[in-house]
Every structure is written in structure tokens, then in C-alpha cells.
Amino acid sequence: MRLKTVTAGPALAVFVAAAIALSAQPSAAARPAGQTGATAPALVGTLAAPVIDVNNVKAHLQQLQTIATNNGGNRATGTGGHTASVTYVQQKLQAAGFTVTLQTCTTCNGSAKNVIADWPGGDTNNTYMFGAHLDSVSAGPGINDDGSGSTALLEAALQLAAANPTMAKHARFGWWAGEEQGLIGSKFYVNSLTSAQKTAIKAYGTFDMIASTNGGYFVTGTDAVAVKLREYFTSISVPTETSTECCSDDGSFRNAGIPSSINSTGAGFTKTSAQVTKWGGTAGAAYDPCYHKACDSYPSNINTTSLGRFANAIEYAVWNLTTGTAPANDFSVSLSPTSGAVNPGSSTTATVSTATTSGSAQTVSLSASGAPSGVSVSFSPTSVTSGGSSTMTVSTTSSAAPGTYTITVTGTGSVTHSATYTLTVNGTGGCTGAGQKFANPGFESGATSWTQSSGVIGQNTGNGAPRTGTWSAWLNGYGSTHTDTLSQSVTLPTGCSSYTLSFYLKIVTAETTTTTAYDKLTVQAGTTTLQVFSNLNASGYTLRSYNLSAFAGQTVTIKFTGVEDSGLQTSFVIDDTAVTVS
């Protein structure tokens, strides 16, 4: 587990879906308000999914408890308890007809194994993957964290096999080793994939802690799996929220560019009064009072209602994403950079990238609109096969009027998609290089044009969630000695009246002191320190601005350096940067 919260964050999870039948009853205190937890519709959504009997999931949990009891009280990676858990899941899946691969994770404790299970059939270029971590912490058997996600996922896979539907897309399941040591198993798996194999995975959902005794229903993500989860929970009138806890194996996939989601019923954070009104339970108490403790055992630390609901949510998402009608051909269009500035009579370029998002690749014709008089836009080539790229050239004549313009780039195939490019035509006179100087200022093209420490720029959630868009730069937040850096060099023209560096900064800390700056973020232009922030400056996203006029006529490196001590975490999150010259 990657630790980036005050409670070390839950190994969170994404719930993937079906219809609900809950035959066992939890205590009234654990049941969400207004829900009986007894039964649920046999058919939800566009395709009929099998109904999961929660008693089957509980039988798997009893097996994991027995395995832990027989192996020193836990199922931690590198122990006999984890090995036995792998064998149990492997045998169940192979008997049901899955193609099972045991991948040795050489970076995990004891070279533990990941379990990868593929159900035959479906378009492997359109794969939907669902996962959970099969290890526990050494303190206990790990029945909620994450026996609940592992066993619900197992039963969903077994029910898919029993129904044996026609597969339109490919279904793959994964049970990870080493999650509690830092997402090691899932990182090892993702790093073993080729670029084509990563592209084939259209969405990944991870399921972690889905039966917390005082929990809620957290669906965190915008990928196809999360969409189906919310659709299912809406159908049974169970409200969901986005979690602020983190982290789990979705991060390994998201950092590789695979759309991912993380969902759970909560870990060590405390339930609010508003959440009690929504779901029932006890305000001011942890979602899971046995999080990472010996008391995370079966059956005492399992909420049967949420376990059953999530098991059926898993089945619903698997079924509706992978069975039935074959996917329509579709694609996406993006630009890098998304803005540029030119002097009249000159030109600039950007890369137009396309990707196949479903179905098969197709021809995409490129065009542009919105260019003012004196500005022309061309593409080389003028059409691409989705997955390819083209160079866009924006040319201006000497008569082009100064100003800022929005150019819309459109890709036309079986459907139409577009992206926008902001063009600044500089004015004449002394200031001949006005405009935005940062490339990829909002990180929406990933780490393009930035120099970073590993993992700083990403599609982050929780403490690292972006201010706008889907990407942000998240420095520190580990709760241990760590240094992160982020930088980009810009060239500033002479003769302009204003040179401004701006960015939005969010600081989230677990430090309780009001006097000591344990963790610090230093903002520099070249060797000049502009400001130093610390855990004492904790706040939500706040606009920060600095005058860079002293660097006119120079190429200067804007650098952010975050230094964290060995104690409690502080996260420095940056978004929507700009170096604006006018």
C-alpha cells in the first residue's frame, strides 16, 4: 500500500457490478439508511447479469480465515498464508475454465505470485480488467482488507464462467501480491506489459475493503468501470461518494496511462454525520475500526449487506462491459501542446494524437476551424489511422491581427471528435514574444515537457486530485523521508510589460504542529527562491503568483522541490500552471 494519508490510506478499490441477492442479515447499525439488504433486482441495466449469493462470498472468506489461522494468523506477502491463498484462488478459477497464469513477482517478498485469470473469448484489443490484492498485513488475517474484495471478485468470476455468455469484449481478473508493501505486485504486472497490451486494457477497476462494518459506498474514478458501478448503485437507490482516502493497485495502472478507478467502503477515516444520514452507522468512528489490526477477522469484521451489494455490483459491471453486442468503433483526439504564441509572419506547430477507444482502428480525417484572418492551419498527414499522429502547423502572415484565438481541431471518422488549441498572435513593437510560455501547463498531456521525479505527474485521486481536468502534479505525501522535484525551462522575451508565474497549490498535511515546518516545498526561478511553503500553510487550492520581470531576455528554469521528513505526511499538489508574458 502506498501511504499518502494520515491513516496511511486504505488499499482502496473499484467495485464492478451485477444484481443483488443478500440472504444473510447484518446488524442494524451496519445497514445503510433505508436499505433492507435482503434482496435486489434480478435484472438491472441493459443486460441481465447473474445474481451473486452473498453466502458464496462468505464461504470463500471462511477459507481465507482458515488459511490465516493455519499460517501464523496472517496472509502477508512472502508467507505460507499468502501462498495458500494463491493456491485456493487458482484452483477455483482453473476448475471453472479460466486460463490462469501465476506470475512470479521477483520484486515482492519471497518472490510471491500474482494470479491472472482470463476468461476465453471476446475482443482482446478491448479488455476490461478487474482486480484486488490477495495479501494482508502481518498484524492479522486481512478479512476486510482485502479478503472482501478478493472473494467478491472470485465469486463474480465464477458466476461469469457458470453462465458462459457470448463475449463481445475480453474479461481479465487479477489478484495482486505485495499491495501492502507499496503496490509492488500490480506494478510488476503493469511493467511486464508491452505498449500494445497496455493500450488493449480499456479500463481497470480495483476492489479493496468492500465490507467495512461502519462503512459507506465510495466509487472513485471516471473510467468505464466506475460508470457502471454508479449505474448499478443508482438502480438500487444506494448513494455513492468519491473517497478522499488512498491508495491501491489502481495507481499502478493509472500511472501507465490505463483508465482506472478505486472504490471501497472505507478504511481508517471517520464517518461524518452527513454520511450517517445517508448510509447509517456511527458518526466520528472509523469506517473500519479493525483496519490493519488483528481483529480484521471473519466473521466479526464483515458487513454482510455491503459485501453482497458490492459483489453484485462487480458482476453487473463485468457482465455489462464484456458481454453482448460488439463495441462500436470509436476514437479520441488530443493536442500537445494545447497553446502557442507566434509573431506575425511566423509559425508554430503542435502534435495531433489519436487513439482507438473501442472497436477497431479507423481512418480519421483532420480539419481546423476558428482561425482568424491572416492565420492558416495545415496537417501532415491530413488523415491518420486512429492510434496515429499528425503534425499541425499554424502559420501567420505579417498582417495577422494581434490577439488570442481558439482554433478547433476536428477528427472525422465514423463519429466526430475535437480538441481546442489556443493561439496568441503577438503584438508589434518592443514585446514580440507575449503569451503563455509553459508547455502542457495543466499536465493534461502527462509528463510531456516537464522534468519530474518518478510518479509526480499523474491522474491522481484523493489528496492529489486535480483542480481542473484529470491530471495534477503531486509532490511528497509519503509520510517518510522523501524528496520530489518538478521543473520546466522557459524563454522570456525582452520589451514586455508583465512577466508572471502563477499556479494553484493545495497543501494537505497530517502534521499537528502549529509552529514547526517539518515538510517544505521550495519554488525557484533559476537559483532564486521565490517562496518556501510548509505543512504550516495547509489549505485547499490557492492561486500563487510571482513577478519574473528580472528574468526578461533569459531562459530560466522554474522548479518545485518538495522535501518530506520521516514523520507524518504532507502533500503538495500543483495544477494549472502558467508563465504569462504581456
CA atoms within 13 A on the CB side of 227: 10
- Alpha-carbon torsion (16, 21, 25, 30), positive or negative: positive
Q: Exposed e or buried b for every residue in 522-535, given b needs 16+ CB within 10 A?
A: bbbbbeeebeebbb
Q: Does a cis peptide bond (omega within 30 degrees of 0) precede residue 381?
A: yes
**How far is it, in rounded angstroms, from Cα 466 to Cα 42?**
38
CB 399 within 8 A of CB 377: no
Give the helix ranges, DSSP H, for 124-194: 149-163, 184-191
Cα-Cα-Cα-Cα torsion 198, 572, 340, 449, nearest 10 degrees, comes to -50
CB 324 within 8 A of CB 47: yes
Q: Which helix (H) or strand (E) holds 534?
A: strand 528-534
CB 323 within 8 A of CB 354: no
Q: Residue 491: which residues within 8 A CB-CB, separation 6 or more?
A: 433, 437, 554, 555
CB 249 within 8 A of CB 7: no
Tell me whether residue 241 is exposed, middle or buried, using C-beta atoms within 10 angstroms of its C-beta: 0 to 12, 13 to 18, 19 or more: middle
Q: CA nearest 123: which of 268, 402, 323?
A: 323
CB 190 within 8 A of CB 253: yes
**How far is it, in rounded angstroms, from Cα 46 to Cα 179?**
34
Q: Residue 250: which residues within 8 A CB-CB, separation 6 or more?
A: 12, 13, 14, 204, 205, 206, 221, 260, 261, 262
CB 228 within 8 A of CB 321: yes
Beta bridge partners of 336: 351
Point out the catalytic residue in the list 155, 179, 511, 564: 179
CB atoms within 10 A of CB 28: 8
**How far is it, in rounded angstroms, from Cα 519 to Cα 506?**
14
**How far is it, in rounded angstroms, from Cα 91 to Cα 427?**
71
**How far is it, in rounded angstroms, from Cα 86 to Cα 71?**
14
Asked about 179 being catalytic, the answer comes back as yes
- Alpha-carbon torsion (524, 527, 531, 535), positive or negative: positive
Which residues belong to the active site?
A: 179
